[in-house]
Amino acid sequence: MRKALTGVSNNASLNIDKIKVWAHSFEKHTGGDAVLIAADMTEDDKLSLKANNIKYFEVKTDQNLTINDSRLIHTANWIEQSDYDLFMVTDVFDVCFQGDPFEMMDTNSYDFFAGSEGLIHTEEAWNLDVMKKAFPEHYDFIKPFEIICSGVMGGKKETLSKTLRMQQDLVDKSLNGHDIRDQAALNILIYKNLVDRCKIFTPDEGWVVHCALSGPTFETGAWGLDKIHTNRYGLPLLEGNVLKNKHDQVFKIAHQYNRIPEWNEKITKQYV
């Protein structure tokens, strides 16, 4: 099966080093193609991507929405018209591949893959606040479930594009109480069993680590999240220039590592 990574970014020339980490780490570890969905491009953006051998597909976005919310429909459109079979769809500026995530994706049993942040909604104020402001009808329902991060997902063409379109539909119908609603929409879809043949990886499985609330950030310590992570799945550890889980496994994907300056420097230095 032909494999691809995609994600949406604007301001490509200003963020070229981050895009290089995203694209080149994927191509190094998987042998697949990284194709940036490049939003609202300037000539400088085009020159910068070409100079760094980064494939791209140009789109115009709805300026009334954040990139997080407007990226959904563009990603679905690109996936459907592409000739790839298996995809990773991720954030761009804070994702580095440390291995091949497809090795852990059992496509005989599942069609869609994502990763838990390791926290229940009631343990993390930001996600619960988004749900309350944008999707109040699902607020009580979602409380006991673990947060699934929408910044890293993968799977087969049909299920991914269908999920992205359902996300977009939920975002479009939601209250405009928050400017980032795509993650809340994904959690609703998954926990309402609307995503076909879905596998959610936990942090101790080593597929992905979401560092914003599991790494040594201010929030992790101040909110007591480090204790929750330690007791539930363990904390990520930087060893050399890679992040590992409590079983000494290298995470296939590092996400949000740039929230910790030391981790950002060591993880990205081979690509920039």
Residue 168 in any domain: the answer is no
> What is the model's pTM?
0.95
Residue 75 in any domain: the answer is yes
Query: Any idea what the CATH number is for the domain that residue 32 is in?
Result: 3.40.50.2000
Domain count, the chain: 1
Give per-residue pLDDT as tens, 4-42.
999 999 999 999 999 999 999 999 999 999 999 999 999
Give per-residue pLDDT as tens, 129-174.
999 999 999 999 999 999 999 999 999 999 999 999 999 999 999 9
Q: Which of 114, 121, 54, 126 is nearest to 255 (CA)?
A: 114
Give per-residue pLDDT as tens, 49-59.
999 999 999 99
Strands (E), the chain: 3-9, 33-39, 55-59, 86-90, 95-97, 112-120, 146-156, 198-201, 208-210, 237-239, 242-244, 253-255
- Domain of residue 31 covers 1-92
- For the chain, first and last CA: distance in Å? 30
CA dist 43 and 12 (Å) reads 10
Residue 272 in any domain: the answer is no
Residue 25 in any domain: the answer is yes
The yes-or-no verdict on residue 1 having pLDDT over 90 is no
**Which single residue is written with the structure tokens 């790494």?**
215
Give per-residue pLDDT as tens, 68-118.
667 899 999 999 999 999 999 999 999 999 999 999 999 999 999 999 999
Q: How far is CA 212 from the centre of its chain?
A: 12
The yes-or-no verdict on residue 219 having pLDDT over 90 is no
Residue 189 in any domain: the answer is no
Residue 72 in any domain: the answer is yes
Is residue 137 classed as helix, strand or coil in its secondary structure?
Answer: helix
